[in-house]
Chains A and B, each alone.
Chain A
Amino acid sequence: MISRSPSSTQWLLTLPSLAWLGLFFVIPAILIVVTAFRSVDFHGGVGAGWTMENIVALRDPAWLPIAWRTLALSAATTFICLALALPMTFHMARVGPRLRQILLLLVVIPFLSNFLIRIFAWKSLLHPEGPLTNLLVSLRLVPEGALLLNNVGAVLLVMIYTQLPFAILPLYAAAEKFDFSLLDAARDLGAGPWRSFAKVFVPGVRRGLISAAVMVFVCSLGQYVIPQMVGGASDEMIGSKIAQRVFADRNLPQASTLAAALMLAVLVPMFVAAAWQRFGRKEAAS
């Protein structure tokens, strides 16, 4: 019973989730954009008037380094996560089903343990009196009293750590469906292992690669807890500024303006990826 135009039963069954997401996801997202044009109320709320001030304030050159840092850190995180996840999923998809299941579980478990705890774990690992610093100092890899914490490197490391499963899972789903006999064919036709990996496997899992990249990039763009916990004062990302506007300055319209800008930065790569995926499908169909 597949109906083309929605029946009343279909409407009735779809309504609960549709209404919930409409009310608590779509409307709030629109409200953010609307609030960006509202004036500030000094009691921490939203003023009555309409204004362009918040938008104009974005032209302040002080935002440039923050926007740049957010984009650069997210791009670096995405790139490194994919570079780590690609060979990993390549091997995961080739081992036996039992081992594969165990590996998958091992990847997912750290991801399910509390986000804050994972950051805290890195914080104590990188602590000046922590085990990693002691180890590196005793191996003479870093000078005595080196600070592994509170710098941009620590932020990048922890971002990669927390986002890696977002790269592995979609890539694994694609690699699982990949026909590995294609690699044998490529080898028979004279391609080396590296060449067949790059020219046959990577294009073969392209869809997974695109969703992994979007997932990691988008999630990285919105980070603020990681820079706050393991980064230094100069490692703030746009998310840090949003949280600051909301909780320290109690300036909701200004925070909404930043959030609207972030939303734009999130939606653009998503639509590009969606269009790309669709283009790929059409190409394959023709």
Chain B
Amino acid sequence: MIAFLFAPLVVLVVNSFNASRFGGEWDGFTWSWYEKLWAADEVWESLVITLKIAVSASLASMLLGTLAAYTLHRFRSGLQSAHSMLITLPLVMPDILMGMSLLALFVLTGVETGLLTIWIAHVTFCLSFVTMVVLGRLQDFDFTLIDAARDLGATRTQAVKKVLLPLVLPGVVAGGLLAFTLSIDDYVITFFVSGPGTTTLPLRIASMMRTSRSLPVINALSTLLIASTFLLAALSFRLQYPLRSGNSES
């Protein structure tokens, strides 16, 4: 099963070094696709746009998501049930519907599509994921620790800052990293709300896929992207499950 999950990715990585154009057989090792990729300025421009959006969208969704997770965890009320439903629904909404509905909003309100609209869309779909990750972390948090800090003379702000924040921060960062990966990865929603001059990396890859000349270059680009995803995933995983990773702190 793991082989089924990884085989296509392995083929991509191997082919990125393959001199043969379609990768049917091994025609010898080459760096030339990477050289072509290095020379493709439009790819790097797209990367810059993608990173700009990913960083700003993950920061905003970290803020909104952490606050949402805190209120969901701390309060029990009709408001929070509605809040919880609103947070969960985007998780199961197909991308095309989210993209389509945001496009309808922007067209009807006369907002020109561009960087801002992509950012709004990305914050919207990242928000729920961040909330879920932080909420998971909060559920492991023992709130009597706050009471203990208060009993020991800490003010409310101090208790939150010195006790709650350090213990929840790894969850927040993990949520932010997830948001970052989701934002970099998104194609469908971005496609709907992008405008002229805002070709993000996935949009660029999609347009490269239409011209067969650049196919091997996509292999090289994919290999680099897969490698960075691996690093990010490992980092996020470490942050999310620090206690279970072998040391007996718990």
A133 to B11, CA, bound (A): 13
- Determine if B226 is an interface residue (Cβ-Cβ < 8 Å): yes
Q: Which listed residue (A21, A101, A115) contacts B187, Cβ 8 A?
A: A115
* Interface positions of A from 47 to 92, Cβ below 8 Å from B: 84, 88
- Determine if A256 is an interface residue (Cβ-Cβ < 8 Å): yes
- Determine if A186 is an interface residue (Cβ-Cβ < 8 Å): no
Closest to B10 in A: A121
Instruction: Contact check, A112 vs B97: say whether CB atoms are below 8 A apart.
Output: no
Q: Which listed residue (A10, A24, A84, A125) contacts B1, Cβ 8 A?
A: A84
CB distance from B232 to the nearest CB of A (A): 8
Interface residues on A, range: 35 or more
Q: Which listed residue (A106, A222, A246) contacts B94, Cβ 8 A?
A: A222
Instruction: Contact check, B96 vs A242: say whether CB atoms are below 8 A apart.
Output: yes
A217 to B241, CA, bound (A): 30
Question: Known: A21-B127, A106-B2. Contact between A10 and B79, CB under 8 A?
Answer: yes
CB distance from B35 to the nearest CB of A (A): 20
Interface residues as binary, A7-41 with B (CB distance below 8 Å gives 1, 0 otherwise): 00011011011101110111111011001000000
Chain A interface mostly helix, strand, loop or mixed? helix
Instruction: Contact check, A130 vs B24: say whether CB atoms are below 8 A apart.
Output: yes
A190 to B248, CA, bound (A): 39
Closest to B4 in A: A161
A21 to B214, CA, bound (A): 39
A223 to B94, CA, bound (A): 8
Pick out which of these stretches binds chain B: A139-147, A197-205, A259-267, A275-283. Answer: A259-267
Instruction: Contact check, A114 vs B24: say whether CB atoms are below 8 A apart.
Output: no
Instruction: Contact check, B64 vs A214: say whether CB atoms are below 8 A apart.
Output: no
Query: Known pairs A24-B121, A114-B202, A118-B9. 16 more at Cβ < 8 A?
Result: A14-B80, A17-B87, A17-B131, A24-B105, A88-B1, A108-B233, A112-B232, A113-B229, A114-B222, A131-B25, A161-B4, A219-B94, A222-B94, A222-B97, A243-B96, A259-B97
11 interchain pairs (CB within 8 A)? Answer: A14-B75, A28-B104, A101-B241, A106-B6, A112-B232, A114-B205, A114-B229, A117-B9, A164-B5, A252-B107, A263-B97
**Chain B interfacial positions (CB closer than 8 Å to A):** 1-2, 4-9, 11-12, 15, 22-25, 63-65, 67-68, 70-71, 74-80, 83, 86-87, 89-90, 92-98, 100-105, 107-108, 120-121, 123-124, 127, 131, 181, 184-188, 192, 202, 205-206, 209, 215, 218-219, 222, 225-226, 229-230, 232-234, 237, 241, 244-246
